Amino acid sequence: MNANRAHPRAGLLLGLAAYALWGVLPLYFKALSSVPPVDIVAHRVLWSLPLLSLLIVAVRLTPDLRAAISQPRTLGMLAITALLIAGNWLLYVWAVTNGHILAASFGYYLNPLANVLLGRFVLHERLSRMQWAAVAIAGGGISVLAAGALSQLWISLALCASFALYGLLRKVVRADAVIGLSIETAILFPLALLWLGAEARAGNPVMGADMTLTALLLLAGIVSTTPLLLFAAAARQLPYSTMGMLQFIAPTLQFLIAVYYGEPLRAAHMVAFAAIWIALALYIAAMLRSPRLPQPPE
Protein backbone atom coordinates (compact mmCIF):
# COMPACT_ATOMS: atom_id res chain seq x y z
CA MET A 1 0.00 0.00 0.00
CA ASN A 2 1.25 3.50 -0.82
CA ALA A 3 2.36 5.27 2.37
CA ASN A 4 0.85 8.51 1.17
CA ARG A 5 -2.56 6.85 1.05
CA ALA A 6 -2.31 4.79 4.23
CA HIS A 7 -4.49 7.11 6.30
CA PRO A 8 -5.98 9.67 3.85
CA ARG A 9 -8.75 10.82 6.19
CA ALA A 10 -6.37 11.38 9.12
CA GLY A 11 -3.88 13.09 6.81
CA LEU A 12 -6.56 15.41 5.47
CA LEU A 13 -7.64 16.38 8.98
CA LEU A 14 -4.02 17.05 9.97
CA GLY A 15 -3.46 19.17 6.86
CA LEU A 16 -6.66 21.13 7.40
CA ALA A 17 -5.66 21.76 11.01
CA ALA A 18 -2.16 22.95 10.03
CA TYR A 19 -3.33 25.48 7.44
CA ALA A 20 -6.29 26.56 9.57
CA LEU A 21 -3.91 27.38 12.44
CA TRP A 22 -1.65 29.33 10.10
CA GLY A 23 -4.74 31.11 8.78
CA VAL A 24 -5.96 32.28 12.20
CA LEU A 25 -2.53 33.45 13.42
CA PRO A 26 -3.60 37.09 12.87
CA LEU A 27 -6.00 36.69 15.82
CA TYR A 28 -3.06 35.74 18.05
CA PHE A 29 -0.89 38.61 16.85
CA LYS A 30 -3.79 41.07 17.12
CA ALA A 31 -4.08 40.13 20.80
CA LEU A 32 -0.40 41.13 21.12
CA SER A 33 -0.80 44.44 19.28
CA SER A 34 0.57 46.40 22.25
CA VAL A 35 3.82 44.41 22.17
CA PRO A 36 6.51 45.59 19.70
CA PRO A 37 6.79 43.23 16.68
CA VAL A 38 10.51 42.61 17.32
CA ASP A 39 9.68 41.45 20.86
CA ILE A 40 7.02 39.07 19.52
CA VAL A 41 9.44 37.54 17.03
CA ALA A 42 12.13 37.27 19.73
CA HIS A 43 9.72 35.37 22.00
CA ARG A 44 8.71 33.19 19.08
CA VAL A 45 12.36 32.17 18.69
CA LEU A 46 13.04 31.95 22.43
CA TRP A 47 10.21 29.53 23.26
CA SER A 48 10.38 27.52 20.03
CA LEU A 49 13.91 26.21 20.60
CA PRO A 50 13.16 24.19 23.77
CA LEU A 51 10.11 22.60 22.14
CA LEU A 52 12.03 21.71 18.99
CA SER A 53 14.87 20.29 21.06
CA LEU A 54 12.46 18.04 22.97
CA LEU A 55 10.89 16.97 19.69
CA ILE A 56 14.26 16.01 18.19
CA VAL A 57 15.05 13.88 21.23
CA ALA A 58 11.56 12.35 21.36
CA VAL A 59 11.51 11.22 17.72
CA ARG A 60 15.22 10.32 17.72
CA LEU A 61 16.40 12.84 15.15
CA THR A 62 19.66 13.59 16.98
CA PRO A 63 21.80 11.72 14.38
CA ASP A 64 20.16 13.75 11.60
CA LEU A 65 20.86 16.96 13.52
CA ARG A 66 24.51 16.03 13.98
CA ALA A 67 24.83 15.20 10.29
CA ALA A 68 23.35 18.56 9.30
CA ILE A 69 25.52 20.69 11.59
CA SER A 70 28.65 18.84 10.47
CA GLN A 71 28.24 20.22 6.94
CA PRO A 72 29.46 23.84 6.58
CA ARG A 73 27.46 24.38 3.39
CA THR A 74 24.25 23.27 5.08
CA LEU A 75 24.91 25.54 8.06
CA GLY A 76 25.68 28.47 5.77
CA MET A 77 22.47 27.98 3.81
CA LEU A 78 20.43 27.67 6.99
CA ALA A 79 21.98 30.86 8.33
CA ILE A 80 20.67 32.65 5.24
CA THR A 81 17.24 31.03 5.51
CA ALA A 82 17.12 31.92 9.22
CA LEU A 83 17.56 35.60 8.37
CA LEU A 84 14.99 35.36 5.57
CA ILE A 85 12.33 33.72 7.74
CA ALA A 86 13.04 36.10 10.63
CA GLY A 87 12.53 39.05 8.28
CA ASN A 88 9.36 37.45 6.93
CA TRP A 89 8.02 36.86 10.46
CA LEU A 90 8.86 40.41 11.52
CA LEU A 91 7.14 41.99 8.53
CA TYR A 92 4.13 39.72 8.90
CA VAL A 93 3.69 40.50 12.60
CA TRP A 94 4.12 44.23 11.91
CA ALA A 95 1.55 44.07 9.09
CA VAL A 96 -1.03 42.28 11.24
CA THR A 97 -0.60 44.47 14.30
CA ASN A 98 -0.77 47.63 12.16
CA GLY A 99 -3.95 46.75 10.28
CA HIS A 100 -2.52 45.39 7.02
CA ILE A 101 -3.83 41.79 7.12
CA LEU A 102 -5.26 42.16 3.60
CA ALA A 103 -1.83 43.00 2.22
CA ALA A 104 -0.32 40.06 4.09
CA SER A 105 -2.89 37.58 2.79
CA PHE A 106 -2.35 38.86 -0.76
CA GLY A 107 1.36 38.21 -0.39
CA TYR A 108 0.78 34.58 0.59
CA TYR A 109 -1.71 34.08 -2.24
CA LEU A 110 1.07 35.16 -4.59
CA ASN A 111 3.60 32.75 -3.11
CA PRO A 112 2.72 29.63 -5.18
CA LEU A 113 2.95 31.67 -8.37
CA ALA A 114 6.29 33.11 -7.28
CA ASN A 115 7.46 29.53 -6.75
CA VAL A 116 6.52 28.81 -10.37
CA LEU A 117 8.69 31.68 -11.60
CA LEU A 118 11.61 30.69 -9.37
CA GLY A 119 11.30 27.14 -10.61
CA ARG A 120 11.46 28.38 -14.20
CA PHE A 121 14.29 30.91 -13.98
CA VAL A 122 16.38 29.51 -11.11
CA LEU A 123 15.82 25.76 -11.24
CA HIS A 124 15.20 25.79 -15.03
CA GLU A 125 11.95 23.90 -14.78
CA ARG A 126 9.60 24.05 -17.76
CA LEU A 127 6.28 25.89 -17.50
CA SER A 128 3.14 24.82 -19.27
CA ARG A 129 1.00 27.30 -21.17
CA MET A 130 -1.54 27.17 -18.36
CA GLN A 131 1.15 28.06 -15.80
CA TRP A 132 2.32 31.00 -17.93
CA ALA A 133 -1.31 32.13 -18.23
CA ALA A 134 -1.66 31.98 -14.44
CA VAL A 135 1.48 34.06 -13.99
CA ALA A 136 0.25 36.63 -16.54
CA ILE A 137 -3.17 36.96 -14.88
CA ALA A 138 -1.54 37.32 -11.45
CA GLY A 139 0.75 39.99 -12.90
CA GLY A 140 -2.31 41.84 -14.14
CA GLY A 141 -3.82 41.71 -10.65
CA ILE A 142 -0.63 43.09 -9.15
CA SER A 143 -0.66 45.90 -11.70
CA VAL A 144 -4.20 46.86 -10.70
CA LEU A 145 -3.27 46.77 -7.04
CA ALA A 146 -0.20 48.88 -7.75
CA ALA A 147 -2.37 51.50 -9.40
CA GLY A 148 -5.10 51.54 -6.76
CA ALA A 149 -3.44 50.51 -3.47
CA LEU A 150 0.23 51.25 -3.95
CA SER A 151 0.84 52.15 -0.31
CA GLN A 152 0.35 48.51 0.78
CA LEU A 153 1.70 46.67 -2.26
CA TRP A 154 5.27 46.64 -0.90
CA ILE A 155 4.08 44.56 2.08
CA SER A 156 2.56 41.90 -0.19
CA LEU A 157 5.57 41.76 -2.49
CA ALA A 158 8.11 41.70 0.35
CA LEU A 159 6.28 38.87 2.15
CA CYS A 160 5.93 36.93 -1.09
CA ALA A 161 9.55 37.44 -2.16
CA SER A 162 11.08 36.62 1.23
CA PHE A 163 9.00 33.47 1.71
CA ALA A 164 9.46 32.29 -1.89
CA LEU A 165 13.23 32.73 -1.64
CA TYR A 166 13.18 30.99 1.74
CA GLY A 167 11.28 28.08 0.21
CA LEU A 168 13.70 27.89 -2.72
CA LEU A 169 16.75 27.71 -0.47
CA ARG A 170 15.10 25.20 1.87
CA LYS A 171 14.31 23.07 -1.19
CA VAL A 172 17.99 22.68 -2.02
CA VAL A 173 19.44 22.50 1.52
CA ARG A 174 20.02 19.01 2.92
CA ALA A 175 17.85 19.17 6.04
CA ASP A 176 14.25 18.12 6.64
CA ALA A 177 11.59 20.44 8.03
CA VAL A 178 12.12 19.83 11.76
CA ILE A 179 15.93 19.71 11.62
CA GLY A 180 16.11 22.78 9.39
CA LEU A 181 13.74 24.80 11.56
CA SER A 182 15.61 23.74 14.70
CA ILE A 183 18.96 24.91 13.31
CA GLU A 184 17.44 28.17 12.05
CA THR A 185 15.91 28.76 15.47
CA ALA A 186 19.23 28.00 17.19
CA ILE A 187 20.96 30.52 14.91
CA LEU A 188 18.41 33.21 15.78
CA PHE A 189 18.32 32.30 19.49
CA PRO A 190 21.35 34.46 20.58
CA LEU A 191 19.95 37.44 18.67
CA ALA A 192 16.59 37.01 20.42
CA LEU A 193 18.29 36.83 23.82
CA LEU A 194 20.41 39.91 23.08
CA TRP A 195 17.36 41.89 21.97
CA LEU A 196 15.24 40.96 24.97
CA GLY A 197 18.21 41.59 27.28
CA ALA A 198 18.67 45.07 25.83
CA GLU A 199 14.96 45.74 26.25
CA ALA A 200 15.13 44.63 29.89
CA ARG A 201 18.14 46.89 30.57
CA ALA A 202 16.22 49.76 29.03
CA GLY A 203 13.40 49.17 31.51
CA ASN A 204 10.87 47.89 28.96
CA PRO A 205 8.45 45.07 29.92
CA VAL A 206 9.89 42.19 27.89
CA MET A 207 7.38 39.68 29.29
CA GLY A 208 4.34 41.83 28.64
CA ALA A 209 2.68 44.58 30.61
CA ASP A 210 0.11 42.25 32.23
CA MET A 211 -0.55 38.58 32.91
CA THR A 212 -2.58 38.09 29.71
CA LEU A 213 0.24 39.36 27.50
CA THR A 214 2.77 37.29 29.46
CA ALA A 215 0.73 34.13 28.92
CA LEU A 216 0.36 34.86 25.21
CA LEU A 217 4.10 35.43 24.82
CA LEU A 218 4.86 32.18 26.64
CA LEU A 219 2.63 30.40 24.12
CA ALA A 220 4.67 31.74 21.19
CA GLY A 221 6.67 28.53 20.87
CA ILE A 222 3.60 26.28 20.78
CA VAL A 223 1.83 28.62 18.37
CA SER A 224 4.85 28.53 16.05
CA THR A 225 5.69 24.83 16.11
CA THR A 226 2.27 23.15 16.26
CA PRO A 227 1.19 23.96 12.67
CA LEU A 228 4.58 22.79 11.37
CA LEU A 229 4.28 19.44 13.17
CA LEU A 230 0.74 18.95 11.89
CA PHE A 231 1.91 19.81 8.38
CA ALA A 232 4.82 17.38 8.56
CA ALA A 233 2.49 14.58 9.71
CA ALA A 234 -0.05 15.36 6.98
CA ALA A 235 2.61 15.47 4.25
CA ARG A 236 3.55 11.88 5.05
CA GLN A 237 -0.04 10.69 4.52
CA LEU A 238 -1.34 12.83 1.63
CA PRO A 239 -0.31 13.31 -2.00
CA TYR A 240 1.53 16.57 -2.67
CA SER A 241 -1.29 17.66 -4.98
CA THR A 242 -3.68 17.66 -2.02
CA MET A 243 -1.20 19.51 0.22
CA GLY A 244 -0.67 22.03 -2.55
CA MET A 245 -4.37 22.83 -2.68
CA LEU A 246 -4.71 22.99 1.09
CA GLN A 247 -2.07 25.74 1.28
CA PHE A 248 -4.61 28.31 0.04
CA ILE A 249 -6.71 27.87 3.20
CA ALA A 250 -4.36 30.07 5.24
CA PRO A 251 -4.48 33.28 3.15
CA THR A 252 -8.24 32.82 2.66
CA LEU A 253 -8.78 32.80 6.43
CA GLN A 254 -6.44 35.78 6.75
CA PHE A 255 -8.53 37.62 4.16
CA LEU A 256 -11.73 36.90 6.11
CA ILE A 257 -10.10 38.05 9.36
CA ALA A 258 -9.06 41.30 7.67
CA VAL A 259 -12.67 41.89 6.67
CA TYR A 260 -13.78 41.07 10.23
CA TYR A 261 -11.41 43.71 11.59
CA GLY A 262 -12.84 46.27 9.17
CA GLU A 263 -9.85 46.80 6.92
CA PRO A 264 -10.97 48.88 3.90
CA LEU A 265 -11.68 46.83 0.76
CA ARG A 266 -10.93 49.03 -2.25
CA ALA A 267 -11.93 48.25 -5.83
CA ALA A 268 -8.27 47.57 -6.57
CA HIS A 269 -8.24 44.91 -3.85
CA MET A 270 -11.30 43.18 -5.27
CA VAL A 271 -9.96 43.16 -8.84
CA ALA A 272 -6.54 41.96 -7.67
CA PHE A 273 -7.95 39.19 -5.49
CA ALA A 274 -10.26 38.06 -8.33
CA ALA A 275 -7.25 37.91 -10.65
CA ILE A 276 -5.27 35.93 -8.09
CA TRP A 277 -8.11 33.42 -7.59
CA ILE A 278 -8.39 32.89 -11.35
CA ALA A 279 -4.63 32.50 -11.55
CA LEU A 280 -4.65 30.04 -8.66
CA ALA A 281 -7.40 27.98 -10.32
CA LEU A 282 -5.23 27.70 -13.44
CA TYR A 283 -2.18 27.00 -11.30
CA ILE A 284 -3.92 24.17 -9.43
CA ALA A 285 -5.19 22.68 -12.68
CA ALA A 286 -1.67 22.75 -14.12
CA MET A 287 -0.27 21.34 -10.86
CA LEU A 288 -2.65 18.39 -10.96
CA ARG A 289 -1.68 17.61 -14.53
CA SER A 290 2.05 17.82 -13.87
CA PRO A 291 4.00 14.73 -12.77
CA ARG A 292 6.26 16.98 -10.64
CA LEU A 293 4.28 18.89 -8.06
CA PRO A 294 5.64 21.91 -6.19
CA GLN A 295 6.34 21.43 -2.49
CA PRO A 296 3.93 23.30 -0.20
CA PRO A 297 5.39 25.89 2.23
CA GLU A 298 6.35 24.97 5.79
How would DSSP label each residue in 106-175?
HHHHHHHHHHHHHHHHTS-----HHHHHHHHHHHHHHHHHHHH-HHHHHHHHHHHHHHHHHHHHHHHSS-
Check if the beta carbon of residue 3 is closer than 8 Å to that of residue 236. yes
Residue 298 lies in a domain: no
pLDDT of the residue at 174 = 83
Contact 41, 96 (CB under 8 A): no
CA triple 249-37-14, angle to 5 deg: 25
> With a cut of 50, which residues of the chain have pLDDT below it?
1-6, 293-298
Looking at residue 258, its pLDDT comes to 92
Do the beta carbons of residue 196 and residue 42 sit within 8 Å? yes
Q: Please indicate, yes or no, if residue 52 is contained in any of the structural domains.
A: yes
Domain that holds residue 280: 3-289
- Asked whether 175 and 232 are in contact (CB, 8 A), the reply is no
Structure confidence at residue 56 (pLDDT): 93
What's residue 7's pLDDT?
A: 59
Whether 294 is covered by a domain: the verdict is: no
**Single-letter amino acid, residue 28:** Y
How many domains, in total, are found in the chain? Answer: 1
Residue 296 in domain = no
| 36 occurs within a structural domain | yes
Look at residue 239 in the predicted model and tell me its pLDDT. 66
- Report yes or no: 261 and 42 within 8 Å, Cβ to Cβ: no
| CA neighbor of 127 nearest in space, from 140, 139, 114 | 114
* Residue 143 within any structural domain of the chain: yes
Q: Rounded to whole angstroms, what are the CA distances from 173 to 64, 81, 244, 258, 295? A: 13, 10, 21, 35, 14
15 in Cβ contact with 240 (< 8 Å): no
pLDDT of residue 39: 95
Q: Is residue 132 part of a domain?
A: yes
Could you tell me if residue 295 is inside a domain? no
